[in-house]
Structure 1
Amino acid sequence: MVTLHDVLQRECPSLVDPDLAYMIPTPYLGTGLLQTIYATLRVRLRNVASDVSYKRELLVMQDGGTISLDWYSAAKEQNCAECPPIAMMMAGVGGSSREHHLRVMAKALAHSQAAFKIVVVNHRGTARTPITSPRPYDSGFTDDFRAAVKYVRNEYPQSKIVGIGFSMGANILTKYIGEEGPRCTLACAVAICCPFDLQVSSAAINESNLLNDYVIQPSVMSTLMRAIKRASHLQVDPLWNLDLQRVKGATRLCELEEELMVKIGGHRDLNDYYEKSSSFNYVDNIEVPFLAINSLDDRITPPQGIPMDKFLTNPNIALALVPHGGHLGFLTGVPPRIWFVKPIEEFVSAIIR
């Protein structure tokens, strides 16, 4: 029987080979703070490594909400295999298929030897997806991704499908595969900068400091508030008992979570929402090969939230820790390039072979 350890040792030199398994930060991006700020500011950068064009498909959920699937393939449609390997990707809060790191990952996998077909699952209200339901997505809401996986599986019944999640998208992906357990139809999953414990990550992202006050919170809140404004024509359920003025006046993510996610999800309070939405509760139940990549100097999803003990007891999961990667940075070389692309390509390609 081939174990996850065997796969990593044989097929993933970027993660295990002593001569290769390291990341040297870009000289002028030597700290997690600099890595995170630089990555956030270049989130819309388009260059040779990230120049992709998607084809969009809309999916309507059972409650009437809509998500969008952005597809990308390096092969011409008429030359595509009937059962290509498929990589399903998900961005973090406020993010979408437009993020630089998603486009880089998409292009790398599509042009790899395995020639993955890519589909980015855009959360409700992101990437100009029509807003057709007042129910928003949240950090633990797995229903939409579950529906997307079912749809892609039905469209490509013979294809091997892998999941790749970033930040909040990583939490949703991890929670999903844990919920599914032995029923999970994904061949494997990769989580980058996963906030396994939302209590820890929420305290970090809502702390008042330079990074949060002037970079992260404004970036996330501007995206979410635009979506809320676009949803103003929808009738909200009176049973939710929402204070719409408080929603419209929110300036930090925790305020929106307390007024929207807590009430709509039927949680007692913010702590209850964080506890029930945190993916660390589901890690023990993961039965597909799972790779998590986190940074020790990530100020958004600090390493204190990583369930280290669970990675020692569940043989299906592995953790790669990088000293200086920041949050969704992992930038190395000059000009900066994203380090985690190669190890992820090695891992998912090995699993689907």
Structure 2
Amino acid sequence: MLDFVSPPGALGLIALAMVGYYACRRYIAGCRIQLIVADAKTSAVVRHTTDEGLITLRDVLYAECPALTDPRQAFMVPTPYLPTGLLQTIYATMRVRLYDRTSDIAYERNVFVMPDAATVSLDWYPSIKGDGNGPIALLLSGVGGSSQEHHIRAMAKSLVARFGATSGGFRVVVVNHRGTAGTPITSARPYDSGFTDDLRTIVRHVRLANPLSKLVGIGFSMGANVLTKYIGEESSACPLSCAIAVCCPFDIKVSSDAINQSNILNNYVFQPAVMRTLMRAIKRAEHVTADPAWALDMDRINSAKRLWEIEEELMVKISGYKNLAEYYERSGSVSHVDSITIPFLAINTLDDRITPPHGIPVAKFTVNPSIALALVPHGGHLGFLTGISPRIWFINPIEQFVAAIIR
């Protein structure tokens, strides 16, 4: 005779349901956002009104940013089929050019020439000219990125949709790094992880053209490092009202070591992708004469197989550093975090293989009263995808933070 397994009875189904419910609750609890900010006594004052009195950065985060602080909302639960940082990163990379209803925008371009004759393109949404003195958000992408990346377009569209009608014409300008987004290469000096001169010039330009507008900086990956380093360098003279850094590689050496490590993913996915981007940019710049004082070994550059080789031969020499160690030390924003004086929010994940968490200067966020750090357990590098149909989680907390500061 054949033995059949009896289907579970009512008690069995209830038990299974309870186990599933408990496991689900445990998983969601593990997706809670950890916020690190100075305590109530030392947190920096961000506004002072007759009705409210003194409002600190900590007050703003806990009262007006529920996506980061509310026990019922402060979670980033990954899309079920993208549970790991690696899957989040790969999926986000695969859809980097996606156009959907969350990102279907068209920019108006402004080409800007730098003092060294380099060309940088500024992509404005919805237009260069606003209807009033409304706020302006400056967005910066990562290595090889541009205004055309999905998360950049989605962020821009969402910001304008949320604030445009009530803030006197909220606008977004995406700062495309030299040679990106179809921008002509007119200078041999490329951008790099610690090059803040272009951003400084552009912020000054936008400020002069819009003297009454509040300016907000939002950076992603390498763009987050450039932004963080810039506002630290500017310190109390920074013209931005606030800034947000997403997946910031504060310590460039930690990030470089992570991506240069020899393993299957780096050797066949991350390294080739970064190297293709860099080599295309180098190829496009062949018509521009390099400064002989740089003494570049173009044969070594053209035959490079790892990112550190490009950094050592190109970035170190162009920037005038002694060696790779000095380039990493001087390019990272980690040493500038202490000098930030404007409201600043960093958002990093704990499963990011490109900007590993041990490179985040966590302790500094408990000391500097003007800065806060949101640690997200899952999300990878610029993933942060949640929901059955993946949507970008960080857009909502960024909007909440911006709204709280600029109102």
Match of 1:32? 85
Map Cα deviations across residues 198-220 of structure 1 (whole Å, 9 max, x no partner): 11111001112233223322222
RMSD: 1.2
Kindly state the Cα deviation for residue 185 of structure 1 after the two structures are TM-superposed: 0.4
Match of 1:91? 141
Distance 1:316 1:209 in 2: 39
Match of 1:326? 380
Select 1:303's aligned residue among 346, 350, 357. 357
Select 2:157's aligned residue among 102, 107, 114. 107
**8 Å Cα contact 2:96/2:150 also seen in 1:** yes
Letter in 2 for 1:328: L
Select 2:96's aligned residue among 33, 39, 43. 43
Residues 1:220 and 2:270 are matched in the alignment: no
Letter in 2 for 1:330: F
Letter in 1 for 2:372: A
Distance 1:248 1:55 in 2: 35
Match of 2:398? 344
**8 Å Cα contact 2:217/2:242 also seen in 1:** yes
**8 Å Cα contact 1:67/1:123 also seen in 2:** yes
Match of 2:193? 139
Distance 2:265 2:178 in 1: 26
Letter in 2 for 1:269: N
Kindly state the Cα deviation for residue 143 of structure 1 after the two structures are TM-superposed: 0.1
Residues 1:266 and 2:289 are matched in the alignment: no
Kindly state the Cα deviation for residue 227 of structure 1 after the two structures are TM-superposed: 1.4
TM-score where L is the length of structure 2:
0.84
Match of 1:63? 116
Distance 2:309 2:173 in 1: 32
Map Cα deviations across residues 139-192 of structure 1 (whole Å, 9 max, x no partner): 000000001101111111100010000000000000000000000000000000
Select 2:233's aligned residue among 179, 183, 207. 179
Letter in 2 for 1:306: I
Kindly state the Cα deviation for residue 247 of structure 1 after the two structures are TM-superposed: 1.3
- Aligned residue for 2:315, secondary structure, equals helix
Kindly state the Cα deviation for residue 221 of structure 1 after the two structures are TM-superposed: 1.9
**8 Å Cα contact 1:40/1:215 also seen in 2:** no
Distance 2:293 2:244 in 1: 37
Distance 2:244 2:234 in 1: 16
Select 1:12's aligned residue among 65, 68, 77. 65
Distance 2:338 2:97 in 1: 36
Percent sequence identity is: 65
**8 Å Cα contact 2:164/2:171 also seen in 1:** no
Letter in 2 for 1:65: A
- Aligned residue for 1:18, secondary structure, equals coil
Residues 1:250 and 2:271 are matched in the alignment: no
Match of 2:263? 209
Distance 1:333 1:17 in 2: 19
Kindly state the Cα deviation for residue 302 of structure 1 after the two structures are TM-superposed: 0.5
**8 Å Cα contact 2:108/2:128 also seen in 1:** no
Kindly state the Cα deviation for residue 334 of structure 1 after the two structures are TM-superposed: 1.4
**8 Å Cα contact 1:37/1:211 also seen in 2:** no
Letter in 2 for 1:345: E
Distance 2:298 2:375 in 1: 41
- Aligned residue for 1:111, secondary structure, equals helix
Match of 1:163? 217
- Aligned residue for 1:308, secondary structure, equals coil
**8 Å Cα contact 1:33/1:211 also seen in 2:** no
TM-score where L is the length of structure 1:
0.97
Letter in 1 for 2:131: A
**8 Å Cα contact 2:252/2:332 also seen in 1:** yes
**How many equivalent pairs are there?**
350
Map Cα deviations across residues 84-135 of structure 1 (whole Å, 9 max, x no partner): 2100000011111111111110111010135530100000011111100000
Match of 2:21? none
- Aligned residue for 2:317, secondary structure, equals helix
Distance 2:227 2:180 in 1: 17
Letter in 2 for 1:301: T
**8 Å Cα contact 2:177/2:191 also seen in 1:** yes
Deviating more after overlay: 217-226 vs 288-297: 217-226
Map Cα deviations across residues 4-50 of structure 1 (whole Å, 9 max, x no partner): 00111111010000000001000111001111111111111111111
